[in-house]
Amino acid sequence: MNFGDIAWLRYGDIADGRIYYSRQKTKKRLSCKLPKQLEDVLHSYWLKGASEDDYIFPILDNRTHKTDEQIYNRLAKVLGKINRELKKIGEESGLSHPLAPYVAGHTYATVMKRAGVSLALISETLGHSSFSTTQIYLDGFDNEQIDEAMKHLA
């Protein structure tokens, strides 16, 4: 899930060991099994007495963020803070590429591709509106893959 989808996640979106949500960007309806680790994270945010319409994470609040402008401003503010913190973590870790929220999606897609998962399935799980979006997302092959393929020419 990307940041926007996480921000919009509500208690009513969790049922029968699954997360059910719509991608904010594409409005595509998705569902995935709730792994134990994620279940633990969600329960650490669980509030007693929360309604199904309440947001799970303390990003948006039904009582405070009512207008489109309030929601947009809140999401921008929180995402900016996340970006700054991730950048700092990446620098402290000595990463050569800046760490940002989209890196997780690219990493997931790349790992799935290397594992032989079809691009159609990767596209579906990312909630992309078209297959070409996934192809752009995974544009290019790693040098290691090209080097390996070139061995077959000798």
The answer for residues whose C-beta is within 8 angstroms of residue 31's C-beta and 6 or more apart is 18, 19, 20, 21
- In angstroms, the CA 7 to CA 17 distance is 20
pLDDT at 153: 66
Cβ pair 53, 32 in contact under 8 A: no
* Residues contacting residue 72 through CB under 8 Å, at least 6 positions apart: none
> For tokens 């700054």, what's the residue?
84
Tens digits of residue pLDDT in 6-63: 999 999 999 999 999 888 888 888 898 999 999 899 989 999 899 999 999 999 999 9
Q: Which two tokens stand for residue 41?
A: 């994270």
Rounded mean pLDDT, 112-121: 86
CB 9 within 8 A of CB 58: no
Rounded to the nearest 10 degrees, how much is the dihedral formed by the CA atoms of 43, 49, 55, 61? -130
Looking at residues 78-87, what average pLDDT do you find? 94
DSSP bridge partners of 33:
18
List the structure tokens of 102.
Answer: 């989209």
Q: What pLDDT shows up at residue 114?
A: 84
pLDDT value of position 73: 97
* CA 8 to the chain's CA centroid: 12
